[in-house]
A and B are shown apart, each in its own frame.
Chain A
Amino acid sequence: MRARDLWERVATAGIAAQGAVPGLYAWGVTVVPVAWVRGGPVAAKVAAIAAPLALGAGVAGERVWGDAARIASLWAFVVASAVTWAAARAGLGPLHVDGPRGVAGMLGWALFAFTCAGPALRGGSDADAPVTPRGQPSGRGGARVEALCVGAGALAAALLQTVGWKVVGTERALLVRFVALAAGLAVLGAATEVALARSAARAPRSSRSRLRGATTSLVALAILAAGGLLLLTAD
């Protein structure tokens, strides 16, 4: 019964509060040990303290300002963590971040990204209701495709974290980690949005209308592809 009460409480807390739990875990494993290394700079400690405060502000702000506050707090948390790593580069040496801790931190960040990208948990009678009451039901096959999309996104985000663990040079290693983190969040967020959009409470648009809405991005992609081919042939 108590577990159910706890579940109800977590379910009503919102995405920011649910994301704060794995976020605090990732912060505790990968940011705190780096910031409080012996002789570490004050800027690293200040940024390290600012990171969980950003999470807390997101939890409080989500009730007032909604998604905007959650997204702002998410990126403030990530940037504060990156500033900590940048300011306390000595703490990123192999003596301070060993293999197991690196893997634990990677899992923590992946869980944080997954929680922030997905919809909030639902509890009580709401748990049995469809995700989008006014939307089209996904059906068994649809739900399977959605789960596959989100799973593939999570796998891709995890694969992105496997690059650059043996890079020589602290600045370069730091840059690879930050880019990997941002890319993982972007891919997981996009995969979740594409998966959940299929059953969202929205008026359906025709394929042509959807393609027209993405014209600018698709043209930019075509220009980049043409540019890449030109550079490839020039080499």
Chain B
Amino acid sequence: MKLVDLLAIALVVGAAAAFFAGEVAIARTEDLRALYWLSVGAVCVRAGVQVGRPGAKG
């Protein structure tokens, strides 16, 4: 396993944590905080998938 694979996994784990924080913020009606954490989660998911892909379709 390469270092970039670990980075991809860390980004997906980070996305889950950010989504969790976003949901908690929505439940507490802290909308700006929720928007921030959900944006972080979405970008983390995108980055995780892009880093995790080992190559172009062969």
Given contacts A186-B42, A186-B45, A228-B40, A159 and B23 within 8 Å (CB-CB): no
Instruction: Indicate if the CB atoms of A207 and B38 lie closer than 8 Å.
Output: no
- Chain A residues whose C-beta falls within 8 Å of the C-beta of B24 in the assembled complex: 163-164
Q: How far is the CA of A220 from the CA of B42 in the complex (A)?
A: 11
Query: Is A42 close to B, CB under 8 A?
Result: no
Q: Is the CB of A204 within 8 A of B54?
A: yes
- Give CA–CA (A220, B48) in the complex, Å: 13
Q: Determine the distance from Cα of A98 to Cα of B22 in the docked complex, in whole angstroms.
A: 25
Expressed in whole angstroms, the minimum distance between the Cβ of A41 and any Cβ of chain B is: 25
Docked complex Cα distance between A145 and B4 (Å): 15
Establish whether residues B54 and A205, one from each chain, have CB atoms under 8 Å apart when the complex forms. Answer: yes
Count class of interface residues, chain B: 35 or more
Measured CA separation A176–B47 after assembly (Å): 24
**Contact status B26-A179, CB under 8 Å:** yes
Distance in angstroms between the alpha carbons of A183 and B2 in the assembled complex: 27
> Given A163-B27, A164-B27, A186-B45, do A203 and B12 touch, yes or no (CB 8 Å)?
no
Which residues of chain B are within 8 angstroms of A134 by Cβ–Cβ distance?
Answer: 58
B43 engages A220 (CB within 8 Å):
yes
A204 contacts across to B, CB distance below 8 A: 54-55
Residues of B within 8 A of A175 (CB): 26
For window 1-54 of B, CB contacts with A under 8 Å fall at: 1-5, 8-9, 12-13, 15-16, 19-20, 22-24, 26-27, 29, 36, 38-54
Instruction: Tell me how far the C-beta of A17 lies from the nearest C-beta in chain B, rounded to whole angstroms.
Output: 24
Q: Which residues of B contact A190 (CB under 8 A)?
A: 12, 15, 45, 48-49, 52
Interchain nearest-CB distance for A221 vs B (Å): 5
> Could you list which residues of chain B lie within 8 angstroms of chain A, going by C-beta atoms?
1-5, 8-9, 12-13, 15-16, 19-20, 22-24, 26-27, 29, 36, 38-58
Can you list 14 residue pairs at the A/B interface with Cβ under 8 Å?
A134-B58, A163-B23, A164-B23, A176-B27, A180-B23, A186-B42, A190-B45, A193-B49, A202-B57, A203-B56, A207-B3, A210-B53, A211-B51, A221-B44
In the complex, the 9 A-B pairs of residues with the closest C-beta atoms, listed nearest first: A194-B52, A214-B50, A217-B47, A183-B19, A156-B16, A202-B55, A164-B27, A163-B23, A205-B55
